[in-house]
């Protein structure tokens, strides 16, 4: 390993590489409680040339390479599977390269965060439309493309962030560097369109969870931010899951242009008010779920027309308007005007000391999510004996349910379902049985939700392998994925183990 280390050091210089045990352990986890893999080396290249040289060397040495953007993934996607490999940290690739205001396209290095990019764009009255994932303060643009990310705001209007993609620069696992979209034509002076020049190879790297290549440059469509906006929050009546789904479906069927439309379940409202995490909800007389909308427009007349249409739908479904100010409970205003879109997405994280999520982030049709949520309640009851084992240690019961359920493109929603639980280190003592129970419960819930026919986007270590292990993939589909992987990555070095694509 020392010889490999010195070869890598010659590529990036010594201040950008480490095999220190503390550094390696700091890159061994993402945000979940149970998945860990300690890399042998952590390296921070500055550009696609250095990444290419690293990958070529990794192929010679047959050592796994794991790309890491912001490290915010929830299924172990940006750490090794097992204790091995080189983690390539892309944080040095964090610059805006070009703003093409004429064609409304921005080109950035893939390690830049959604927050940094949108902070830059706001100086020109622009934004990315879909604001990326809910962790966009630190999540990288490249990671968002790798996951079809949603959640940070604007997804009802713009859909997942990959909808905005124009072109990519990608370093393939063997070290070749390619460009896609309009840039596949070597005479193209600047990125302007994704489709054409043959097959849509850009799509091969969308949602690939880092198995087909390392994204180094990303060109995105950008949009003028409309001058006018409105945002209202309502409390739902009884049977809130069904009512919220009916509202979302009616909005789509009537063709009303909304920027965001989100449902937050009653369980969350009760807990965050009980623990005094959300002062804006403490005065609610009924601790029921809420639904909020945000709309944008280029004129007051257009805005008022949309607002009237939406308010009639809310009134017809017996929703109670909470008031115009944040202090009234108007989380929609906070979400849109005060960067709440990057602060509240996972509501229950950290409410109790040591509590963190084991999530199941997926897409499903609007009509399907009440059934999924009801089934998670049933799952919770069926697994009470295992859940009690954790409660007996912590005296706090793990919480099953969902974070915000948000309308995305089409008549679909994103669900951040799952459960929150505790680390194996609790109150100064190590409880290895917590890890065992957590992993067993997590796999059980993921399999249950998968069999509801959902579509996974963020898959990482655990979900990508579970799909294979439970036979969820059509055999021909999975074999095509595998043949493509083998062609691009003959030594299976990149993100080794995801989707059960192991090395020699």
Burial (0-12, 13-18, 19+ Cβ within 10 Å), 504: exposed
Complete DSSP assignment for 174-212: TS-EEE-GGGGSTT--S---SS-SSS-GGGGGTT-TTSS
> Can you tell me which residue has the tokens 């939406």?
310
Phi, psi (5° rounding) for residue 157? -90, -40
Contact status, residue 178 vs residue 48, Cβ threshold 8 Å: no
Domains and CATH numbers, the chain: 96-224 (3.30.465.10), 228-342 (3.30.70.3450), 355-460 (3.30.70)
Angle at CA 153, nearest 5°, toward 149 and 158?
Answer: 70
Contact status, residue 65 vs residue 494, Cβ threshold 8 Å: yes
Pairing between β-strand 320-321 and β-strand 228-235 as defined by DSSP bridges: antiparallel
- Token pair in block for residue 334: 């906070």
Between CA 211 and CA 65 the distance in angstroms is 10
Extended strands (E) in 258-398: 260-264, 290-297, 320-321, 355-365
- Token pair in block for residue 205: 């790297």
pLDDT digits 0-9 by tens, 355-377: 888 998 999 999 999 999 999 99
Quote the pLDDT of residue 108: 98
Tell me the pLDDT of the chain (504 aa) as tens digits.
689 999 999 999 899 999 999 999 999 999 888 999 999 999 999 999 999 999 999 999 999 999 999 998 889 999 999 999 999 999 999 999 999 999 999 999 999 999 999 999 999 999 999 999 988 889 999 999 999 999 999 999 999 999 999 999 999 999 999 999 999 999 999 999 999 999 999 999 999 999 999 999 999 999 999 999 999 999 999 999 999 999 999 999 999 999 999 999 998 898 888 888 788 888 888 889 999 999 999 999 999 999 999 999 999 999 999 999 999 999 999 999 988 888 876 666 667 777 888 998 999 999 999 999 999 999 999 999 999 999 999 999 999 988 899 999 999 999 999 999 999 999 899 999 999 999 999 999 999 999 999 999 999 999 999 999 999 999 999 999 999 999 999 999 999 999 999 976
pTM of the prediction? 0.95
Task: Give pairs for 182-189: CB < 8 Å, separation 24+.
Answer: 183/219
pLDDT digits 0-9 by tens, 399-415: 998 889 999 999 999 99
Q: Could you count the other beta carbons within 10 Å of the beta carbon of residue 327?
A: 12
- Token pair in block for residue 154: 């604007």
């Amino acid at each position: 390993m020392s010889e490999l280390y010195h070869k890598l050091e010659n590529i990036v210089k010594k201040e950008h590489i480490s095999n220190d045990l503390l550094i390696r352990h700091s890159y061994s986890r993402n945000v979940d409680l149970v998945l860990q893999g300690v890399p042998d080396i952590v390296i921070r290249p500055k550009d696609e040339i250095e990444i290419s040289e690293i990958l070529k060397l990794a192929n010679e040495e047959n050592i796994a390479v794991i790309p890491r953007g912001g490290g915010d993934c929830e299924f172990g996607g940006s750490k090794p599977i097992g204790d091995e490999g080189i983690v390539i940290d892309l944080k040095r690739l964090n610059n805006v390269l070009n703003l093409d205001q004429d064609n409304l396209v921005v080109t950035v290095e893939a390690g830049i965060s959604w927050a940094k990019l949108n902070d830059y764009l706001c100086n020109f009255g622009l934004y990315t439309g879909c604001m990326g994932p809910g962790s966009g303060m630190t999540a990288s643009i490249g990671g968002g493309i790798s996951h079809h990310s949603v959640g940070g705001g604007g997804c009802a209007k713009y859909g997942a962030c990959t909808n905005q993609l124009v072109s990519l620069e990608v370093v393939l696992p063997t070290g070749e560097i390619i460009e896609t979209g309009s840039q596949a034509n070597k005479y193209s002076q600047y990125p302007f369109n994704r489709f054409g020049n043959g097959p849509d190879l850009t799509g091969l790297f969308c949602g690939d969870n880092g198995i087909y290549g390392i994204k180094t440059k990303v060109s995105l469509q950008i949009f003028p931010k409309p001058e006018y906006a409105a945002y209202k929050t309502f409390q739902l009546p009884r049977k809130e899951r069904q009512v919220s789904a009916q509202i979302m479906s009616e909005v789509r069927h009537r063709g009303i242009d909304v920027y965001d439309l989100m449902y937050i379940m009653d369980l969350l409202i009760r807990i965050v008010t009980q623990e005094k995490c959300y002062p804006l909800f403490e005065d609610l007389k009924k601790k029921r779920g809420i639904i909020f909308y945000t709309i944008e427009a280029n004129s007051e007349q257009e805005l008022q027309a949309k607002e009237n249409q939406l308010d009639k739908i809310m009134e017809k479904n017996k929703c109670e308007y909470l008031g115009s100010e944040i202090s009234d409970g108007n989380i929609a205003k906070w979400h849109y005007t005060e960067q709440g879109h990057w602060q509240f997405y996972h509501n229950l994280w950290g409410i109790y000391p040591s509590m963190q999520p084991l999530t199941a982030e997926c897409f499903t049709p609007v009509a399907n999510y009440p059934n999924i949520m009801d089934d998670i309640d049933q799952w919770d009851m069926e697994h009470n004996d295992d859940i009690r084992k954790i409660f007996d240690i912590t005296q706090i019961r793990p919480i099953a349910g969902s974070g915000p359920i948000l309308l995305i493109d089409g008549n679909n929603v994103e669900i951040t379902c799952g459960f929150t639980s505790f680390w194996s280190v609790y109150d100064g003592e190590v409880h290895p049985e917590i890890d065992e129970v957590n992993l067993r419960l997590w796999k059980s819930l993921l399999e249950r939700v998968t069999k509801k026919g959902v579509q996974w986007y963020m898959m990482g270590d655990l979900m990508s392998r579970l799909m294979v292990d439970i036979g969820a993939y059509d055999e021909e589909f999975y074999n095509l994925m595998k043949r493509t992987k083998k062609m691009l990555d003959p030594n299976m070095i990149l993100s080794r183990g995801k989707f059960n694509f192991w090395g020699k």
